Amino acid sequence: MTHTKSPLMPGTMNLVPFKELMLSTCGHSFEKAREQALSLALQRRMTSLDIDVCMNYYSLLVRDQDELLRLTELLTVNETYFFREPEHLSLMVDTLLPEFLASRNREGPVRVLSAGCSTGEEPYSIAIMLRERFGSESDRLFAITGVDIDSTVIASAKLGVYGKSSFRGMDQSLLARYFEPCGSGRFQVSETIRKQVGFEVVNLLGTSYPQRMQLPDIILYRNVSIYFPGQVQREIFGKLAELLADGGCLLVGASETIHHDIGILSLVKQDALFFYRKMPPLVFEERRTSSRSRSIPEPGRGRLPQTAPVSASKTATPQIRLREKHAFEHPHRHSLPQVDVRERFDEAITLAHTKQYDKALDVVVAIVGQESSFEKAHILKGSLLLNLSRFDEACIVCNTILERDPLCLEAYLMLGMIARQQGDNDDAIRRFREAIYLDSSCWLAHFYTAEILFAHRDEKRARSCYEAAVRTLEKGSLQKHGQDFFPLSFNAEQFIVICRHKLSLLAPAKG
């Protein structure tokens, strides 16, 4: 008597290991209502491969990336159409992209990334809108990339053939200009538009991204994160934020905005729409005219917390400590000629301003190697490491500075920003408070503290910190406040706009 293998029925298998695997590899959560979709997909693949033991299939998934990808493709939702949520697309094409063109500070086209592009309707929509606004020049001015984890939809996107469901509500004149009929009510995107968009298969939760995804000016990450649990949402959002070019914008779906206001990027309102912006990088300049004094804490106000191991010099006599401190702040007392230090430091500053951070770091490392007591070089080194996201090394530099000078405001600010980037908001707030203790007009410390508090819905304290930042910035010229204590290269007006916007959101209810 022969036995026929019965198909696996949803609900008869242990889904826990499969759910954990899908969450860890591609970020998708299959809880409650989505369990059935996972069960059906597993049943389909196991039947296709003639596997009837669940854990045998699980073992295959762990060792075979191709099979994992096939399962993922079965579980990916690919609902999209041309010109979806057109308000954000119009904001990008009519306002944001022209701003990037006008203030371009690096070579090459303005770069747009569609993250989770599915079958390609979104990036093609962008290309069409840019062609409408900029004509044939859009080929030279812009580079558009679409990425998705599903290789099947990426293959479809490259082909660019669509049925009527993709054109719901679309202007028929655009259909006539940019699509060619290809039978059975289907249309193919014109070759001109297809050439302007590149596609890649990418797992947004992966450890590396392809070159064409690097340093985009705008990322569209719309209606994708709704399929991810909170922790995965935050991780992917953080990865995309790191990708952005300085000053770049990240647009999410209208229903997703509030879930991503977690203090990584600044939430900006424009034309009744919200998007996220990556604030310009922090670049320290030599404080040749700085007059800030570093006074000893007043009696009764307490002491700064110990921030670094006590160096051997702390146990020396007061005369020796004074001599070491004096030498640390005045490098011309050492063997390297002053003009040489100044020239090389200016060279590093110039490289930093032109965003050649690696080259600038090489110069600074050489300066520190020959003149270890040159405080400004250490500060610039920390700033460059921070810009390069080499946070552990930047921490070491900051603690080295604080060993020698426990009243260095810049070191506390950098440590605060590093902690914030690494998700340690408690430590970030502690560092920013230390900076404010040293200088109550340190508006950056007020601002970043406010951003953290705002993300955690601590409205009262967030409002107070935003107000403190605005008060300081509005006391004098923006340039003065940009160079006072940090100093920075950035558009301070942008910070004022963001502070005012956040204060409008935090305005106490009337009545």
Residue 212's CATH number: 3.40.50.150
pLDDT band at 173 (very low <50, low <70, confident <90, very high): very high
Strand 161-162: give its sheet, edge to edge.
Answer: 161-162, 187-189, 179-181
Are 227 and 144 within one domain? yes
Are 62 and 153 within one domain? no
Query: What pLDDT does 79 receive?
Result: 60
Average pLDDT over residues 209-217: 92
- Tell me if 285 is assigned to some domain: no
Task: Using the 3D structure, point to which of 277, 300, 327 is the last residue of a domain.
Answer: 277
pLDDT band at 454 (very low <50, low <70, confident <90, very high): confident
Specify the DSSP element, H or E, that contains 363. Answer: helix 357-370
Are 344 and 398 within one domain? yes
| pLDDT, the chain, mean | 76
Query: What pLDDT does 93 receive?
Result: 92
Query: What pLDDT does 298 receive?
Result: 36
pLDDT at 143 over 90: yes
pLDDT at 243 over 80: yes
- More confident position, 69 or 292: 69
R_g over Cα of the chain: 27
Are 217 and 131 within one domain? yes
Alpha-carbon distance of 443 to 406, in angstroms, equals 20
Query: What pLDDT does 197 receive?
Result: 97
What does the block give as tokens for 428? 């970030």
pLDDT at 156 over 60: yes
pLDDT band at 306 (very low <50, low <70, confident <90, very high): very low
pLDDT winner (highest mean) among 24-33, 55-64, 266-275, 488-497: 55-64
Whether the Cβ atoms of residue 235 and residue 241 lie closer than 8 Å to each other? no
Query: What pLDDT does 218 receive?
Result: 95
Average pLDDT over residues 429-455: 86
Query: What pLDDT does 493 receive?
Result: 67
- Tell me if 1 is assigned to some domain: no
Alpha-carbon distance of 473 to 471, in angstroms, equals 6
pLDDT winner (highest mean) among 51-55, 111-115, 361-365: 111-115
Flag the least confident range among 48-52, 212-216, 243-247, 471-475: 471-475
Are 43 and 108 within one domain? no
Give how many domains the chain has, as a whole number: 4
- Tell me if 450 is assigned to some domain: yes
Task: Using the 3D structure, point to which of 28, 53, 75 is the last residue of a domain.
Answer: 75
Flag the least confident range among 44-53, 244-253, 486-495: 486-495
Alpha-carbon distance of 93 to 126, in angstroms, equals 8
pLDDT band at 320 (very low <50, low <70, confident <90, very high): very low
- More confident position, 7 or 172: 172
Look up the pTM and report it.
0.47
Are 47 and 150 within one domain? no
- Tell me if 7 is assigned to some domain: no
Sorted by sequence, the CB contacts under 8 Å of residue 299 that are 6+ apart come out as: none
Share of residues in the chain with pLDDT > 90 (%): 21
Share of residues in the chain with pLDDT > 70 (%): 74
Are 399 and 440 within one domain? no
Query: What pLDDT does 260 receive?
Result: 59
Query: What pLDDT does 12 receive?
Result: 61
Are 62 and 101 within one domain? no
- Tell me if 288 is assigned to some domain: no
pLDDT at 338 over 60: no
Are 337 and 464 within one domain? no
Are 147 and 92 within one domain? yes
Phi-psi region at 487: left, alpha or beta (left = phi > 0; alpha = psi -120 to 50): beta
Query: What pLDDT does 228 receive?
Result: 67
Task: Using the 3D structure, point to which of 231, 253, 277 is the last residue of a domain.
Answer: 277
Helix/strand/coil (H/E/C) assignment for every residue in 133-165: HHHHHHHHHEEEEEEECCHHHHHHHHHCEECHH
Query: What pLDDT does 289 receive?
Result: 37
pLDDT at 77 over 60: no
Alpha-carbon distance of 402 to 307, in angstroms, equals 7
The domain of 453 spans 432-511
Query: What pLDDT does 30 receive?
Result: 67
Are 100 and 48 within one domain? no
CA atoms 188, 192, 193, 196: torsion sign:
positive
What SS3 class is residue 409? helix
pLDDT winner (highest mean) among 174-178, 236-240, 443-447: 174-178
pLDDT at 69 over 60: yes
Average pLDDT over residues 118-129: 94
Distance of CA 205 to the CA centre of its chain: 14
- Tell me if 145 is assigned to some domain: yes
pLDDT at 18 over 90: no
Angle (CA) 255-261-263 rounded to 5° is 170
- Tell me if 363 is assigned to some domain: yes
Query: What pLDDT does 174 receive?
Result: 94
What SS3 class is residue 5? coil
- Tell me if 294 is assigned to some domain: no
Query: What pLDDT does 307 receive?
Result: 34
Alpha-carbon distance of 89 to 452, in angstroms, equals 29
Residue 452's CATH number: 1.25.40
pLDDT band at 388 (very low <50, low <70, confident <90, very high): confident
pLDDT band at 124 (very low <50, low <70, confident <90, very high): very high
Are 46 and 186 within one domain? no
pLDDT at 35 over 80: no
pLDDT at 261 over 80: no
pLDDT at 266 over 90: no
pLDDT band at 259 (very low <50, low <70, confident <90, very high): low
Nearest one of 411, 452, 454 to 429, comparing CA atoms: 452
Flag the least confident range among 77-91, 156-170, 468-482: 468-482
